[in-house]
């Protein structure tokens, strides 16, 4: 595993941030900690395409982290999710739905007062039979 590298406007561990962004940053770091990722190493965000169902509708559940002993990203980087249950337990402990937005709008645009509409809200987090972390999707 390689350490986090700052990238553009993403949440870099060494950048000063507002209280609202610090809260989100701490949540991301706690999720990483719960998954067994060593300190200083983490996956801050994942980009993926949503599958379309047979009737051309969007899915009612999506996979947030794939299962399996080793996960390989599109760019070839690899990581392990050795504690999917810990991630789900932490997400459930937040006691709220999580936003899915467009192009990090809640992190980049909202702090400046710009609109940051949700694409969806995620809830009912679970570990699937193959070890994947999934969530139910609201408000599509």
Domain span at 95: 19-46+61-138
Residue 55 falls inside a structural domain: no
Q: Which residue has the higher pLDDT, 33 or 68?
A: 68
Q: For position 49, what pLDDT does the model report? A: 61
Residue 4 falls inside a structural domain: no
Residue 56 falls inside a structural domain: no
Residue 13 falls inside a structural domain: no
Residue 53 falls inside a structural domain: no
Residue 8 falls inside a structural domain: no
Q: Which residue has the higher pLDDT, 68 or 1?
A: 68
Q: For position 140, what pLDDT does the model report? A: 55
> Per-residue pLDDT tens for 37-94?
555 444 445 455 666 677 877 788 988 888 887 888 888 888 888 889 999 999 999 9
Compute the distance between CA of residue 112 and CA of residue 27 in angstroms, rounded to an integer: 21
Residue 9 falls inside a structural domain: no
Burial of 104 (0-12, 13-18, 19+ CB in 10 A): middle
pTM (whole model) above 0.85? no
* For residues 93-104, average pLDDT: 88
Backbone phi and psi for residue 56, each to the nearest 5 degrees, phi listed first: 70, 20
Provide the domain count of the chain.
1
Q: For position 36, what pLDDT does the model report? A: 52
Residue 80 falls inside a structural domain: yes
Gyration radius from the chain CA atoms: 15
């Amino acid at each position: 595993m390689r350490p986090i590298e700052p990238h553009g406007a993403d949440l870099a561990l060494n950048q000063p941030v507002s209280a609202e962004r610090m809260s989100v940053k701490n949540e991301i770091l706690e999720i990483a900690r719960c998954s067994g990722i060593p300190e200083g190493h983490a996956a801050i965000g994942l980009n993926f395409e949503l599958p379309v169902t047979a009737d051309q509708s969007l899915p009612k559940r999506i996979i947030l982290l794939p299962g399996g002993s080793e996960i390989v990203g599109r760019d070839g980087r690899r990581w392990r999710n050795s504690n999917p249950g810990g991630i789900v337990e932490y997400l459930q402990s937040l006691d709220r739905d999580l936003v899915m937005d467009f192009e990090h709008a809640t992190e980049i645009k909202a702090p400046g007062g710009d609109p940051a509409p949700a694409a969806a809200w995620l809830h009912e987090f679970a570990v699937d039979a193959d070890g994947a972390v999934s969530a139910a999707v609201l408000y599509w």
